[in-house]
Structure formats: structure tokens, C-alpha cells
């Protein structure tokens, strides 16, 4: 009786190890597939919940069967959230069938968020932003994984504390900002003439924007050549 009980315990342990090994293999393949699609996710924490399948159970219970599984998930489909995993079953290297396994996948990763309210035009720094771990499976595109991508840039909108920073929310600080007094030069032959004008819009070096001449009240267009200069071409 004791021998029978011991054998039963050993068999149960072997079955458990086979099932655990099978699930570990599936999870690892899912993780590898996710990181292969997006290298930025290599340091993410991926949680994978697998729901049991009757078809898989048959293979899992065959101890010593030499079976293996191979995930073949379509490259054009998102591998996160609720996903049906197509698994090809091989026994001693021979293809047996494809089994479909229900799963729930959460991709947890640190993303940049506002730690203190940021006003429009305020520059992103390490003092007003911080990282928070989020399930990025359903977050909008453009979340920031690396603060360096926006640090030194300015916010294009008011951002309350806790707001996730997205790519469109940050822009390079303009070389000329609306309302700034800029000397606009005009070259005619060997004559260089300049007049102080007010910028009517933000702009960057090399960009043509509108200025207003306060003396003539006329609006002119000129190319920005520096933070306080522009030239009519």
C-alpha cells in the first residue's frame, strides 16, 4: 500500500513537471515573440495567464512522449491582452496538430509620467517627470520609455500631475517665440538694412515665419537666422 502511494505521488509529480515545463515553454516563446517585435520591451515584465485546453491536456499527460510546442502567432496581429495562441504540437519531432490556447497577456513597463503639473511651454526635466509601471498593452501610441527623448523640450499643452507623457506633447523649444522682438534684415545689393519687428508665431532656425513691422504696421515674411535675427530672401 505504501509502495502504491509512493508511486502515485511520483507519477503526480512527473505529470506536474511535464505540465509546468510545457507552460514555461509557451510563456517563454510568447515573451520572445513580443520582444522580437519591439526591442524596447526587452526589459519589460510580461505576465502571461494560460487557460487550460483539453487537447493540450492529452499531450501533457503523456509522460515520456517527447512532445514539444511551437508558437506561430501572426506577425501582423497584436500579441497582448486577450489573445488566442496557435500552438503546433510535435511528438518526437513529428507534427501532430495545431492547438489553440486562450491567454491573457499583460506587458508591464516603466513609462514617463508627470510628477508635478507642467504648464504649456514649460520644459520637461527630471524634476517634473518620473517613471511609473503600467500595462502598456492598451496605452495609446507614443508613450515615452526614455526621458532623454523629451528632456529639454517644452510641453505643447497643460499637463496635470499623473499625466502620461506622449511624443506629441513635447516639442523642441522654438528659436523664436511669438511676441519676441527680432531684427529683420533685408539685403539689396551691397546695402544691408534692418528693422526691429515682432514675431507673430513661433519658429525654428531656417524656417520662414511672419513678422509685424510696428512702424509701418505691415506684416512681412522672413527666414529665422538666429534667436534674435531674421532675413528677407
Chain-centroid distance, C-alpha 98 = 32
Question: What is the structure's pLDDT at 190?
Answer: 66
Question: What is the structure's pLDDT at 63?
Answer: 52
Rounded alpha-carbon distances, angstroms, from residue 185 to 27, 194, 195, 219, 228: 65, 4, 7, 14, 11
Question: What phi and psi values does residue 137 have, to the nearest 5 degrees?
Answer: -55, -35
Question: What is the structure's pLDDT at 114?
Answer: 97
Question: 195-200: long-range contacts at Cβ-Cβ below 8 A with a sequence spacing of 24 or more?
Answer: 197/222, 197/230
Mean pLDDT per 10-residue interval, the chain, length 233 residues:
42 38 85 91 92 70 72 90 92 87 94 95 95 91 94 95 96 90 84 87 92 91 92 88
Which domains occur in the chain, in start order? 2-108 (no CATH), 109-171 (3.90.1210.10), 181-232 (2.30.30.760)
Rounded alpha-carbon distances, angstroms, from residue 7 to 2, 4, 58, 59: 9, 5, 21, 21
- Interatomic CA distance for residues 149 and 169, integer angstroms: 12
Amino acid at each position: 500500500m505504501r509502495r502504491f502511494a509512493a508511486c502515485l505521488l511520483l507519477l503526480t509529480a512527473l505529470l506536474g513537471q511535464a505540465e509546468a515545463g510545457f507552460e514555461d515553454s509557451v510563456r517563454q516563446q510568447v515573451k520572445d515573440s513580443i520582444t522580437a517585435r519591439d526591442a524596447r520591451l526587452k526589459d519589460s515584465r510580461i505576465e502571461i495567464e494560460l487557460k487550460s485546453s483539453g487537447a493540450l491536456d492529452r499531450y501533457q499527460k503523456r509522460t515520456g512522449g517527447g512532445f514539444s510546442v511551437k508558437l506561430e502567432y501572426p506577425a501582423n496581429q497584436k500579441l497582448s491582452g486577450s489573445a488566442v495562441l496557435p500552438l503546433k504540437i510535435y511528438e518526437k519531432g513529428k507534427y501532430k496538430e495545431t492547438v489553440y490556447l486562450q491567454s491573457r497577456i499583460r506587458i508591464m513597463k516603466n513609462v514617463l509620467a508627470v510628477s508635478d503639473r507642467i504648464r504649456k511651454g514649460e520644459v520637461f526635466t527630471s524634476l517634473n517627470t518620473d517613471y511609473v509601471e503600467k500595462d502598456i498593452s492598451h496605452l495609446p501610441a507614443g508613450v515615452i520609455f526614455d526621458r532623454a527623448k523629451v528632456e529639454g523640450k517644452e510641453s505643447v499643452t497643460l499637463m496635470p500631475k499623473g499625466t502620461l507623457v506622449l511624443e506629441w506633447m513635447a516639442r523642441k523649444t522654438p528659436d523664436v517665440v511669438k511676441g519676441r522682438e527680432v531684427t529683420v534684415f533685408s539685403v539689396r545689393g551691397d546695402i544691408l538694412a534692418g528693422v526691429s519687428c515682432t514675431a507673430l508665431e513661433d519658429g525654428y532656425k531656417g524656417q520662414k515665419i511672419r513678422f509685424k513691422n510696428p512702424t509701418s504696421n505691415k506684416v512681412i515674411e522672413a527666414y529665422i537666422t538666429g534667436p534674435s535675427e531674421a532675413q528677407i530672401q
